[in-house]
Amino acid sequence: MYAPKVGDRLDSLDTPSMIADLDLVEANLKKLMDKLLPTGLNIRPHLKTTKSAAIAGKMVKAGAKGGCVAKVSEAEAIAATGFDDLLITCEIVGLAKVKRLVELYRKHRNIRIVVDSEIGATAINEALAGSGIDEPIMVLIDLDVGLHRTGVKPGEPALALAQHIAGLRHLKLIGVQGYEGHLQHLHDKEDRKTQCLESMQILTGTADSLRNAGFKIDVVTTGGTGTAEFCATVPGVTELQPGSFIFMDTDYRNAVGSFYSNSLTILSTVVSKQGPRAVTIDSGLKSLTTDSGLAECKDSKYTYGVLGDEHGSLTWGEDTPPLSVGDRVEMIPSHIDPTVNLHDVYYAYRGAVIEEIWPVDSRGKVQ
């Protein structure tokens, strides 16, 4: 049976396989912690990127406190491994999802959630009221700081939502979340910084108005790979949620530069020769996502193209050594989070030897 194990060499892996360079993963984590831990802020990395409790454990060892997940089903998968200090950063709406949340909360009291509507808050309160669980769930108001994706608007609407939550016995308001996702990939660093500080004024300003109105706002959580360092300079921010920094992707590298390294690739095999300067590899749409542009071959002499679900092309210029059937190449994803979600497992290597194998615990957990 095919069962790769620790100690095997990378060249024994079937392809496509998701492989992570441990030296680079550890260096990325150290760089983030060296930059952000001295600020004294809580680092709660977003696990939507890695979907892995094993990696979350490494982050905690390095100084992180807890993690974020996007969805309830993601929280179920990660909490089931024993790692349950989790903030679910997406709104929890719909009867089925709310019921799942209640069952999750029954077992894991560290789970925190966000709300951005009175309807949403009321539904969760009612489900908890009927559950026999007495302890109120910790809730953050999700605030729109400019992304216009989710989040209540700052000012009066945020205040009204806080007042509404205060009237719900099974919800305990502890803070605000504001994610400036629209700024993460701005190429101009000064522009990214300026706009980020504006978003942070909205976030911390709202936290202050809520406090002035008598609410206890202990948590102010925000930030991604492209902005965390700027968020960290703003008084009033208490927590940072970067995710992609651990593996990076070509989109992030192009935007924020190479402070963090591309540490994850999809190992692929040349399966067909299609001309003197063209081959086909076994990584297509089912192995590498394309929403943020095409993946790149780690060896930049070869250019990738999509040939379908299972296939991609590599082409090259005249003076480049040709690739042959059976050769192996590494592909750098263009968007890390949805690419990871296409694979079951990470093979983490040092040198050319597999040192650790991490399941993608919350793969496919999109509910």
Query: If binding is defined by CB under 5 A, does position 21 make contact with Mn ion?
Result: no
Nearest Cα to Cα of residue 268 among 335, 212, 222, 325: 325
Q: Does 243 bind ligand PLP (CB under 6 A)?
A: yes
347, 18 Cβ separation under 8 angstroms: yes
Question: Which member of 181, 236, 338, 359 binds ligand PLP (CB under 6 A)?
Answer: 181
Smaller CB separation from Mn ion, 21 or 251: 251
Site pattern 22..51 for ligand PLP (x: CB under 6 A) = ------------------------x-xx--
Position with the least CB separation from ligand PLP? 224
The least distance separating ligand PLP from the CB of residue 150, rounded to whole angstroms, comes to: 9
Which of ligand PLP, Mn ion, none does residue 58 bind to, with CB < 5 to 8 Å depending on kind? Answer: none
User: Residue 84: which of 72, 98, 100, 96 has the closest Cα?
Assistant: 72
- Count Cβ atoms below 10 Å from residue 50 Cβ, excluding itself: 30
Is 296 among the residues that bind Mn ion (CB under 5 A)? no
Render the burial of 248-264: b for 16+ CB within 10 Å, e for the rest. Answer: bbbbbbebbeeebbbbb
Q: How far apart are CA 253 and CA 343, in angstroms?
A: 22
Give the pairing type, strands 328-332 and 264-275.
antiparallel
Q: Indicate which single residue of 53, 337, 346, 365 sits in contact with Mn ion (rule: CB under 5 A).
A: 337
Stretch that binds ligand PLP, among 10-18, 58-66, 74-82, 236-244 (CB under 6 A): 236-244
Residue type, 208: D
120 in helix, strand or coil? Answer: helix
- For residue 89, the partner it binds in Mn ion, ligand PLP, none, with Cβ less than 5 to 8 A by kind, is ligand PLP
Query: What gap in Å lies between CA 22 and CA 12, rounded to an integer?
Result: 18
Residue 268: burial class (beta carbons within 10 Å; 0-12, 13-18, 19+): buried
Residue 4 interacting entry, from ligand PLP, Mn ion, none, C-beta within 5 to 8 Å by type: none
Note whether 262 binds ligand PLP by CB under 6 A: no
Choices 11-19, 109-117, 160-168, 333-341; region in contact with Mn ion by CB under 5 A: 333-341
Task: Tell me whether residue 76 or residue 337 sits nearer to Mn ion (CB atom).
Answer: 337
Nearer to ligand PLP, 226 or 312 (CB): 226
241 binds ligand PLP, rule: CB under 6 A? yes
Residue 245: both structure tokens together:
């920094």
What Rg do the C-alpha atoms of the chain give, in angstroms?
Answer: 22
C-beta of 179 vs 302, nearer to ligand PLP: 179
- For Mn ion (CB under 5 A), the number of binding residues is 1
Distance, in Å, from the CA atom of 149 to the CA atom of 271, rounded to the nearest integer, reads 42
Interacting residues with ligand PLP (CB under 6 A): 46, 48-49, 68, 89, 179, 181, 184, 224-226, 241-245
Interacting residues with Mn ion (CB under 5 A): 337
